[in-house]
Amino acid sequence: MSYFSDIYKGIKTLLTGMSVTGKYFLTSRKGAITQQYPDNRDTLKMFERFRGEVVMPHDENNEHQCTGCQKCELACPNGSIEIIWDRGIDEATGKKKKFIDRHIYHLGLCTMCGLCIEACPTDAIVWAQNYENSTYDRTQLTKVLNRPGSKVKAGIED
């Protein structure tokens, strides 16, 4: 008699499905996930995992965490990152030490794959959540991530 139990099961599962979508229908006015973008530009905040562009955070002493190890440059599949580095004498220890002169990031080449951020051993570069990246001139897409006059935070290499 699986014929009748099939009919019963069929109707039951269809009603289960309809109750699920029905609940969504009733709650959709509150839980709509659509962002009406240009209207809510002021209040729109991107979620934490959003990949806007790569930035290098600096603290209040204008210090970043980049040691110039170049792992990000090697990890980048399409050469979006260029690091210009130099060697100098560390004042505290008197030893020779590598430091970055400029950390150049080409946003126009970047595919937002995130391999550089995964490769970074000191978490010097992170994702920013900004999303309005278009410009009228492509030279503006080449960015220097470390601020002028900044230096590496002490003790980050240990």
Partner 1 sequence: MNISLNITETIQEWLMSMMPEGVASIAAMVTVALIYLIIFAVAGLYLVLLERRVAAWFQLRIGPNRVGPLGLLQTMADALKLVSKELTGTIKADKFLYNLAPYFVIVSSLMALAVFPFTKEFQAFDINIGIFFLIAISSIGVIGILLGGWSSNNKFALIGAMRSGVQTISYELSVGLSLLTMIVITGSLQLSEIVEVQKQGWLILQGHVPAIIAFMVYMIAGTAETNRAPFDMVEAESELGAGFHTEYSGMKFAYFFLAEFINMFIIAAIATTVFFGAWLSPFGITESLPWLGVFWFLGKTLILVFLMMWFRWTFPRLRVDQLLTLEWKYLLPINLINILIMAIIVWLNLTIKF
Where along the sequence are the contacts to partner 1 (CB under 8 A)?
7, 14, 17-18, 20-22, 24-25, 28-29, 31-34, 36
| Residue among 25 and 50 whose Cβ is closer to partner 1 | 25
What's the CA gap between 145 and 100, in Å, rounded? 11
CA atoms within 13 A on the CB side of 83: 20
What's the CA gap between 78 and 58, in Å, rounded? 26
Rounded to the nearest whole angstrom, what is the least distance from the CB of residue 6 to partner 1 in the complex?
Answer: 8
| Residue among 26 and 92 whose Cβ is closer to partner 1 | 26
Rounded to the nearest whole angstrom, what is the least distance from the CB of residue 3 to partner 1 in the complex?
Answer: 8
Rounded to the nearest whole angstrom, what is the least distance from the CB of residue 21 to partner 1 in the complex?
Answer: 4
Rounded to the nearest whole angstrom, what is the least distance from the CB of residue 50 to partner 1 in the complex?
Answer: 19
What's the CA gap between 86 and 66, in Å, rounded? 13
Rounded to the nearest whole angstrom, what is the least distance from the CB of residue 38 to partner 1 in the complex?
Answer: 11
Contact 20, 26 (CB under 8 A): no
| Residue among 20 and 89 whose Cβ is closer to partner 1 | 20
What's the CA gap between 70 and 74, in Å, rounded? 6
Helix (H, G, I), strand (E, B) or coil at 5: helix
| Residue among 17 and 57 whose Cβ is closer to partner 1 | 17
Q: 50 is written with which tokens?
A: 């959003």
| Residue among 3 and 136 whose Cβ is closer to partner 1 | 3
DSSP code of residue 83: E
